[in-house]
Amino acid sequence: MRIAMIGTGYVGLVSGACLSQFGIDVVCVDKDRDKIDGLNRGELPIFEPGLDTLMANNVSAGRLIFSTDLPPAVDKADAVFIAVGTPSRRGDGHADLSHVFDAAKEIAAALNGYTVVATKSTVPVGTSDEVERIIGSLRPDAEFDVVSNPEFLREGSAISDFMRPDRVIIGTESKRAGEVMGHIYRPLYLIETPVLFTTRPTAELIKYAANGFLATKITFINQIANLCEKVGADVQDVARGIGLDGRIGPKFLHAGPGYGGSCFPKDMLALARTAQEAGNPLRIVETVIEINNTRKRQMAERIIDACGGSVQGKTIAILGLTFKPNTDDIRNAPSLDILPALQAAGASLRAFDPKGMEEAKEILTGIHWCGGAYESMNGADALAILTEWNEFRALDFDRIKSLLKKPVMVDLRNIYNPREMAEAGIQYFCIGRSDMNRKAGL
Ligand code: UGA
């Protein structure tokens, strides 16, 4: 079995490396020569735990190759995966499919013998039909089937998500294509992963509906957190209390500063757009988008309130810039809304993130970048935690107090216990647990 993986972004690299680990010969193709040269030197363009070792092992076993040359990779492949980017199109929120269609054209020219073309990129309903039309019109002689095979990888835990997925979705009505895809994912059958065969449009919609549901779940608990603050309840206990109901489930119920990242914000916009165009607007999705955007902006207000209503001339220590831990990705991270709002309100910022500073430096300006958590606190008026990196979970309270001018901490990820913070003499502000603050006399 040979596979060509087109696109060495997050999805392409992780999927390519994991498929090669299954024993399949994989060529990862990208137009970006610098990126391919780097990969061939063993340099990863992204940070993902475990990916470096997985790639190194499979490269040295000869099963994983990186190349800029698409035709030979596709020519020999039994299956070609399209894993190129589908960013939000400027202006209308639609997924920009130009990279997908360009890839389809190049693949068409190189097809040789029966080949499955699988779309792994997140694409709106109907895109696989269009890929089929493009390839069929350019190569009426070619023997191929187009399959939708969406991915459900989370940054930071992408390898285990690929190796031990909750399910695999294969959208095809072709028996022959189904057999090829079944063969590729056979190692997962052995661990009894449910494999769901559907039509192509259904598979495409499953991906958006999954992300839409998860983003809605997060937004729901964020709104409940606001209510908790008003009525003196604890959102962590509410989440636990509802999460134990098997119909609801405990995951994705962590209240925070609003969802971010390269997927939820973009996919929610695209889903809303698809639904509007189909004459069936999804009002829940539209509302979630609006609430989440507002929430990120409101988080700056919380920090300002914690500083007594003004940050003019004050210095705030910021811990965490990435949209979640274990990634260097800051795309649509709450930090990108919060930090400029604090600066606009007159604050100076001292920031640290274990992996996200390089990316952040390209977007955020006027920040004092620090080499570690405690360095950021040195002489600051308050500390704000924006991302729940493990290394921020056990900070030394005495050291915090000795470094900050006033012991004020705003924890937008609820990683500390309000009672412990009160005992430590730290004025602690968190999400959806203000009753605890009140009881503690803060
Ligand atoms: C998400 C999905 O979880 C994956 O299944 C999907 O494959 C991926 O998008 C994609 O479409 O490619 P990812 O964006 O890597 O994965 O990250 P998540 O772990 O889902 O977190 C997204 C955002 O939600 C983060 O900002 C995170 O902080 C926030 N979040 C998550 C919460 O605020 N509360 C939670 O309980 C969970």
Query: How do residues 5-55 score in pLDDT, each as one tens digit?
Result: 999 999 999 999 999 999 999 999 999 999 999 999 999 999 999 999 999
Summarised one tens digit per residue, pLDDT across range 331-374 is 999 999 999 999 999 999 999 999 999 999 999 999 999 999 99
**Calpha distance 426→400 (Å, rounded):** 9
CB distance 207 to ligand 1 below 6 Å = no
Cβ–ligand 1 distance for 9 under 6 Å, the answer no
Q: Where are the alpha helices (DSSP H) in 191-334?
A: 200-231, 235-243, 264-277, 283-306
Residue 118 belongs to what H/E stretch?
strand 115-119
Best of 152, 154, 164 to mutate for ligand 1, by most ligand atoms within 8 A of CB? 154
**Nearest CA owner, ligand 1 atom 31:** 252
95 CB within 6 A, ligand 1: no
pLDDT band at 438 (very low <50, low <70, confident <90, very high): very low
Using pLDDT thresholds of 50, 70 and 90, give the confidence band for residue 89: confident
pLDDT in tens, 336-346: 999 999 999 99
Nearest to 124 by CA among 150, 102, 162: 150
- Best mutation site among 120, 153, 208, 224 for ligand 1 pocket (most ligand atoms within 8 Å of CB): 153
**All domains in the chain, ordered by first residue:** 2-198 (3.40.50.720), 293-439 (3.40.50.720)
Q: With pLDDT > 90 as the criterion, what percentage of the chain qualifies?
A: 93
Q: What is the pLDDT of residues 250-266, one digit of tens each?
A: 999 999 999 999 999 99
28, 228, 263, 370: the active-site residue: 263
Q: 259 in ligand 1 pocket by Cβ < 6 Å?
A: yes
Q: What pLDDT, on a 0 to 100 scale, did the predictor assign at position 92?
A: 75
Residue 376 has pLDDT above 60, yes or no: yes
Question: Is the distance from the beta carbon of residue 260 to the nearest atom of ligand 1 less than 6 Å?
Answer: yes
What pLDDT, on a 0 to 100 scale, did the predictor assign at position 95? 79
Residue type (1 letter), 71: P
Q: What is the pLDDT of residue 235?
A: 97
Q: What is the DSSP string of 2-43?
A: EEEEE--SHHHHHHHHHHHHTT-EEEEE-S-HHHHHHHHTT-
Average pLDDT score, the chain: 95
Alpha-carbon distances, residue 273 vs 214, 277, 278 (angstroms): 18, 6, 9
The average pLDDT across 225-248 equals: 97
> Which of these, 48, 49, 11, lies nearest to 30 by C-alpha position?
11
Residue 263 appears among annotated catalytic residues: yes
| C-alpha 158 to ligand 1 mean position (Å) | 11
Q: How far from 303 is each of 41, 125, 315, 409, CA to CA, in Å? A: 44, 41, 12, 9
- Whether 185 is in the pocket of ligand 1, judged by its Cβ within 6 Å, is no
Q: Which atom of ligand 1 is nearest to the CA of 222?
A: 33
